[in-house]
Amino acid sequence: MQQRRQIINNRNILIFTIIMIVGWGLMRASINKEQVAKRKSGYPVMELILQRWSSRAMSGELLTNSELMTIFEAARWAPSSYNNQPWRFIYAIKNSPEWNSIFNLLVPFNKLWAKNAAALVVIISANKFTHNNEPSPTHSFDTGAAWANMALQGTSMGLVMHAIEGFDYQKAREELKIPDGFTIEAMLAIGKPARKEVLPLELQEKEVRSGRRPITELIAEGSFEDKLAQ
């Protein structure tokens, strides 16, 4: 009798565990499905490029150290003029002692949603080449490439990757002790995705994937055309 009860108990625990795992999987899948809702490109591009978007709905869950380092690793491999690698990153993990000093740089609108990020990153770049100490004309361009690598890597891992310019650049320089010779480029919120209902109503309405200008407004063959100035 005792043994039979034990078997039933074990079976119930097993069923409960399976239901939890399947439920969790379905929830994750439905968030992912929301994320890949179709954007249409005029010409075929990699699916990952269309999947990336700037969601604000994050769960507040932390990343593992390995997940976070993988994002920085993606930045490392970006191309740069003279392979100078001018990008640098100052980061804070949610609930760490450093979190508030970066989080408090944000404008109130960005605080509303970025509070649920797992990590915040301040992206800066070295203005001069290391090899000759001459000004680098492309340090921001190179660092933009590093951010793009991070965004695509994070997207491929199912993470929210949201760049931010709404923060106090001057305060960032002072609080984070960023010396002259480095440009503060932008911030980045990284987090695990969540349903849009975690956001205040006004932000839920913004959880839509934006479109893009037509390609014809972006390119001109041979020399500048008025259409590029639109």
Ligand X SMILES: Cc1cc2nc3c(=O)[nH]c(=O)nc-3n(C[C@H](O)[C@H](O)[C@H](O)COP(=O)(O)O)c2cc1C
Binding positions for ligand X, rule: CB under 6 A? 53-54, 110, 163-166, 186, 209-210
d(CA 181, CA 19): 55
Q: Residue 13 Cβ, how far from ligand X at the closest point, in Å? A: 43
d(CA 74, CA 83): 15
Ramachandran angles phi, psi of 164, nearest 5°: -140, 130
Q: Residue 84 Cβ, how far from ligand X at the closest point, in Å? A: 21
Cα Rg, the chain, nearest whole Å = 22
Looking at the Cβ atoms of 54 and 183, the one nearer to ligand X is 54
Would you tell me the crossing angle of helices 65-76 and 139-156 to the nearest 10 degrees? 140
Q: Residue 167 Cβ, how far from ligand X at the closest point, in Å? A: 7
Q: Residue 63 Cβ, how far from ligand X at the closest point, in Å? A: 20
Looking at the Cβ atoms of 103 and 129, the one nearer to ligand X is 103
Question: Any residues with CB less than 8 A from the CB of 49 and at least 6 apart, and which?
Answer: 41, 152
